[in-house]
């Protein structure tokens, strides 16, 4: 069975094309650039995700800068996008700080109410203790005076 495929049988129907036409020199740097762009996109995604745990909002900015290979710094649109993201992050931080202050104020108010309740309970316990002591002393005095009267009658 004869095969006329020039890649299988080089001496067949035609000559193999020269290597430079299949892999031109200009194609190699482009392939490397494409791989580095892919690497930078992956690295940007990983770095952005990791930084979002530490500082929400900042991870997205840094991830986009890394994935674009830093080219966003050179363009006006990139700078405007970064400014928008920074403004959004500042608004988020202001809202978070405001919420945190409100929560702290609520907690302080609750602590103050609990302190007043505790003081009220302590005051009532103290008053009951004084009342018990007073009644106990009165009953002891009465008992003593009755015992004295009984002893006087006996003697």
Domain boundary assignment for the chain: 1-74
Q: Are 44 and 51 in contact (CB under 8 A)?
A: no
5 half-sphere exposure, CB direction, 13 A CA radius: 4
Contact 68, 61 (CB under 8 A): no
SS3 23: coil
* Region of residue 70 (phi > 0: left; psi between -120 and 50: alpha; otherwise: beta): left
Which H helix or E strand runs over 72?
none
The pLDDT score that the predictor gives to residue 46 is: 73
* Residue 47, burial from CB neighbour count under 10 angstroms (0-12, 13-18, 19+): middle
pLDDT tens, the chain, 155 aa long: 456 655 555 554 455 555 554 444 544 444 444 455 677 667 777 777 776 666 666 666 666 666 665 554 456 777 788 888 999 999 999 999 999 999 999 999 999 999 999 999 999 999 999 999 999 999 999 999 999 999 999 87
Name residue, tokens 């990791």: 50
- CA 54/CA 50 separation, integer angstroms: 7
């Amino acid at each position: 069975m004869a095969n006329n495929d020039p890649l299988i049988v080089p001496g067949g129907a035609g000559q193999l094309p020269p290597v430079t036409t299949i892999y031109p020199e200009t194609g190699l740097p482009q392939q490397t650039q494409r791989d580095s762009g892919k690497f930078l996109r992956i690295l940007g995604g990983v770095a952005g995700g990791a930084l979002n745990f530490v500082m929400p909002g900042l991870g997205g900015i840094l991830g986009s800068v890394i994935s674009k290979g830093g080219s966003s710094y050179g363009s006006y649109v990139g700078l405007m996008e970064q400014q928008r993201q920074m403004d959004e992050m500042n608004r988020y931080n202001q809202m978070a700080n405001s919420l945190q202050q409100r929560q702290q104020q609520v907690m302080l108010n609750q602590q103050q109410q609990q302190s007043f309740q505790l003081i009220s309970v302590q005051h009532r316990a103290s008053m009951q203790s004084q009342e018990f002591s007073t009644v106990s002393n009165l009953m002891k005095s009465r008992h003593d005076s009755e015992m004295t009267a009984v002893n006087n009658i006996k003697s």
